[in-house]
Structure 1
Amino acid sequence: MARDYYEILGVRRNATQDEIKKAYRRLARELHPDVNPDPATQDRFKEVTQAYEVLSDPEKRQMFDMGGDPFGSAQGSGGFGGAQGFPFDDIMNAFFGGGMGNGGRGGARERARRGRNRRVQVQLTLAEAAFGVEKDITFPVAVLCETCSGAGTAQGSKPETCGTCSGRGEVSQVTRSFLGQVMTTRPCPHCSGAGVIITNPCADCSGDGRVRQNVTRTVRIPAGIDEGAQIQLAGEGEVGPNGGPRGDIFLEVVVEKHPLFERHGDDLHCTVTVPMTTAALGSSFTIETLDGPEEIELPAGTHSGHVLTMPGRGTHRLHGPGRGELRIQVDVETPTKLDEEQRELLRQLAELRGENQQPDKLSPGHGGLFSRLRDVFSGAR
């Protein structure tokens, strides 16, 4: 009877599978021939590997616990060529973090895989982005082939087991080196790891199990969304190969340029140009907002750069209540083409106001350049 396998791995008799696996990986890294080629160490490595094969298999572990021989008369002498008693795939997993399916023993890959995610642009007007909208979005995706229901085979036929890998989805090759026999495993090149071959494919999908077509989804766009934001439609993307689950759709928001407004966060900005006389005397005018035309008062003496604010006329806040502001910057237009009568009237106005057309100096405290700059910045706050 072999030594106590629990003692070999250094675990308790009631150790969990996870504890057994961790103990084996630790010892395998220390004892592997690539790390320590000493013959005595190789014998120890084979012993550890045999212990792991028994304790990681519920049936063999139970037989060992009952005092029986888990290998019976079929126990081989071991080696690194895949002989019974030495699970080489588990060794490779321990060193390279492999996960070849079927508990680390290789096997065909799943043919049905999750579909790809898709990015689709959705065009919005500024009003749609500000207030939200429900839109029908149409885009091309891969959908399940109705003819073969995703199987990829013609009616009345089915996939055949790959003759190259015998359905495992992998092929192995044993080579000799100064360390002994080394086995390498890779996906089967004939079936691409599926383990089966479609010899009679569906005429509509050519064996893929999918066909491309345009689909339409009704999407609710939230109020306040901005340029570049994304909306995820989970499970609305492409069907995976061979009937696999759908991927996701990511809608990327693109907001069309507005002829009047620019958006800055939740606020809207625009510029209006008024005549010099209107700015001086004050007036009221109508401006188009996203809510429709509204009247606004222009105070007398408004200077160029002054900002008029309309609270609650910006966009809705995406992550909170309320709306931003509409900020209107006033641009005072100075007349450039005057007839003689208009010039004379301006001269008379200048004389009445005591203003010199050609001042000797600019006074910061009396409407000069620095004063106007100060007013522009203070008015824009």
Structure 2
Amino acid sequence: MLRPTPCSCSRSVRTKLAFGLSALALVAVPTLAFAQAPPGKGTDMELDPDAAPAEPPPLPPAQEGDWGVGGAEEEGKFAPSGKTGAKKREEAEKAEEAKAEDYRVLPPREFGVDTVIGFGEIRDVLSDTNPTDVTVASFVPYFFWRLNDTWAIGARVPFATGTIDGPIEDPVDSFALGNIEASVHARFKLKRRMTLPVSFALAVPTASGDMFPEQNDAGARPQAVLNQAVAGARGWEEQAPYTPNRLGAVPSVGFAYDTRLLHFAASTKFELMIKTGGGTPESANVGTIHAPAYNWVTSASFSYDFLDGMVSPGLRAWLAVSQQAVTKGTSDYSGAQFVIEPGANSTIPLGKSLALRAGLGFLIPLGGPLGGSNSATINGFRVRAGLAF
């Protein structure tokens, strides 16, 4: 019996089929081996696009002294700390104060003349009848030098001229020198905008005149009355420069508050006038000399700047309590005198190291020995001009 022989084509088909299945297995096995199941809930790889982002945990609280804590508002966390930071902040504050308050720094030296025209009547202590009519013009050239931020020195040379017409003197024109004065000043800073000014002045006895002159010096008495009239026209704010034969010692202390526009000051001073010479009355009925004499003055002032200080209206006022150098029986014209002086000042810069200063004022005594209580009233018109350089 003959067996059928396998067909060569069938073998070929089987060979190709086996090769295809083997290739399919090579592709499928790695795919199944490396395939991952889709992430389910609760796994570490869960990502939910609709969920809100989680907030980070809070930072620990900052401790004082840590880097980045404190500092000026404009510097924030980068403000330097310690001594360096304090020094920088202090320098910044000083610069700001200088910019805000010292916008118009004056040159350190000033030379000028303070002039007061006085007119009215005064009571001559040696006359118990009518008042004495006076018209006087007093001039006080002054020099002031600010040495540094604290210390300054000054000098004044007062003199006057005028007409005296009273019960004792016939109308007479006279000229009189006052007591030359030298002074030292200090200004101490209390805090921002507040300062404490103090000063001491010494008036040497150079004033002309004598209330009880020698017979051969007839012009001395009108000169003494002229100086008395000048002190009255200036509202008794100053008597030491205008009292003949007296050495004046004048300590003063005050308080000042200054902003860019507003200026307020108050002070008190004591003029002690020590007798150094001059004639003496023959008896108490003729007159009494007080040695020493004194004048205690307490004052206040206020002003406001317009146009960067080129126009500064203001008001000054003071109370003077005086013991006159000479009295006569019941004719004692000592006492308390209150005076106000409205006016205006001006400072006009002419350059970096030059400025023109000027002032006007009108002196008004309210009651007292100068304001009518003794049937005599005297007023003064002030004109001041100076050059700061």
**TM-score interval (norm. to shorter):** under 0.3
Higher helix proportion: 1
Scaled by the length of structure 1, what TM-score is found?
A: 0.21
TM-score (norm 2): 0.20
Highest CA radius of gyration, 1 or 2?
2
Name the structure with the higher strand share.
Answer: 2
